[in-house]
Amino acid sequence: MLSPYQWQVSSHLTRAKKAGTPATLTLKEWVATVKYFDNKCAYCRTRPTEVLEHFLPIILGGGTTANNCIPACESCNSKKGSSHPDRLSRLDFSVENIEYIKRYLLGEVNVNPPHTVNSRALVVYGT
Ligand SMILES: [Zn+2]
């Protein structure tokens, strides 16, 4: 039997392949992403992860890849629908959370655990 994570990855790889978009997400990458967001929805950061969400929807050319998949709750997932990422602030999503998602997907955030970016280090260098 497949674990929920395995099922999410394999079903979404199939969806992307059918749509002709990139399909490269591995189980390891997905588990790391879910963990990165603390097993919470990346949009609201309060409810638990329920679905694999494509930041750029498959219908708009997004793939099932490590730099396009984030965990979401059913509520945020249905609110987002197939909106382009640039339209999310109009849908009442937290701008801060959206920026955080973008930085993560672009690979600009690689701190583990999250939220420990050390600004003090910068202060030390500045003095
Ligand atoms: Zn949510």
Considering the domain boundaries, does residue 118 fall inside one? no
Domain count for the chain: 1
Tokens of 86: 């640039």
Query: Percentage of the chain surpassing pLDDT 70?
Result: 85
Q: How far is the CA of 73 from the centre of ligand 1 (A)?
A: 4
Considering the domain boundaries, does residue 57 fall inside one? yes
Asked whether 64 and 23 are in contact (CB, 8 A), the reply is yes
Asked whether 72 and 49 are in contact (CB, 8 A), the reply is yes
Considering the domain boundaries, does residue 116 fall inside one? no
- In this prediction, residue 1 carries a pLDDT of 75
Q: How far is the CA of 48 from the centre of ligand 1 (A)?
A: 8
Query: Percentage of the chain surpassing pLDDT 90?
Result: 75
CATH number of the structural domain spanning residue 89: 1.10.30
DSSP line for 12-68: HHHHHHHHTS-B---HHHHHHHHHHTTTB-TTTSSSBP-EEEESS-GGGT--BSTTT
Q: How far is the CA of 127 from the centre of ligand 1 (A)?
A: 41
Considering the domain boundaries, does residue 49 fall inside one? yes
Identify the CA nearest to 63 among candidates 25, 26, 98.
25
- What average pLDDT does range 5-12 have in this prediction? 96
pTM exceeds 0.75 for this model: yes
Q: Which amino acid is at 2?
A: L
Q: How far is the CA of 91 from the centre of ligand 1 (A)?
A: 13
Considering the domain boundaries, does residue 29 fall inside one? yes
Q: Which amino acid is at 125?
A: Y
Domain with 60, as residue range(s), is: 4-106
Considering the domain boundaries, does residue 72 fall inside one? yes
Q: Check residue 73 and give left, alpha or beta (phi > 0: left; psi -120 to 50: alpha).
A: beta
- Could you tell me which residue, 107 or 9, shows the higher pLDDT? 9
Considering the domain boundaries, does residue 81 fall inside one? yes
d(CA 51, CA 54) in angstroms, rounded, equals 10
- Could you tell me which residue, 13 or 110, shows the higher pLDDT? 13
Considering the domain boundaries, does residue 114 fall inside one? no
- What average pLDDT does range 13-34 have in this prediction? 97
